[in-house]
Amino acid sequence: MFKRKCRPNSRGLDVPTRVPLNIWQFLDGMAVRRELARLGAASPPRLDECKFDQLSAGRATWRLTYGRGLHAYVSVNRGEYNEERYVVLLDAERFYRAWLSSSLTSPASPRDCFAKIRERMPLDYKFEEAVKGFRHGRENPVPLPTITSWHSSKGPRIGFSDGVTRTYWLLYNRVGVFPAEVRSQEDAHILHGLVGAGLGPMRCSDIFRRRDAL
């Protein structure tokens, strides 16, 4: 069985190639296991590095502090009033470890996504798009990644509906805490229990309802 993959060329850009799927799984799995062995336990996150920045009628924005006083801005749109959408604050380092661990037992599933180790994240073929997106700052914040989590016979699992490369950017730049959008209450509570930071999941409609009441 073959799967279309990408490899970095001399410029560091991903170039499509075709290799046996089991070889990629073997090599990626080795890299992930080495990374997990190297990482050890995660330090507690600093919740003050992720703060509400703006709340308008149609958009909620968070300011993420990283590095030496640098800021990144992410947001979620209001959407439909009765949508079941939640925001979960994630401990980035615990999330990174859990995503790596989940990748080792990842079956063929459309909501799975195999995690890259941190040093390889900039090789993702869309990474430069994420770099450009985050440069817009407060005026045009980046949408939250849409993440899901569930229990399987092999342990907790993490998958994505959208925003893998944005998450690579956040992890590569060592953002400590970041919000994610989750599309069901059950998945939101599973994800928060696994790698959450601070209070439990926030329903998007409740975030905007508080503003409407002002």
- pLDDT tens by residue, 121-168: 999 999 999 999 999 999 999 999 999 999 988 888 999 999 999 999
**Does the structure show a pLDDT above 60 at 69?**
yes
> What does the alpha-carbon distance between residue 178 and residue 156 come to, in Å, rounded to a whole number?
20
3-state SS, residue 45: coil
pTM for the model stands at 0.84
**Which stretch of DSSP H or E encloses residue 181?**
strand 177-182
Contact 94, 195 (CB under 8 A): yes
CA distance 162 to 159: 9
Supply the mean pLDDT for the chain: 84
Q: Which amino acid is at 144?
A: L
How much is the pLDDT for 11?
Answer: 44
Q: Say how many CA atoms lie within 13 Å of 44 toward its Cβ.
A: 4
Contact criterion met (CB below 8 Å) for 105 and 159 = no
Render pLDDT for 16-62 as a digit per residue (tens, 0 to 9).
445 444 555 556 778 888 998 898 888 888 889 999 999 998 999 99
- The answer for residues whose C-beta is within 8 angstroms of residue 189's C-beta and 6 or more apart is 200, 201
**Helices of type H across 105-201:** 127-135, 164-172, 185-195
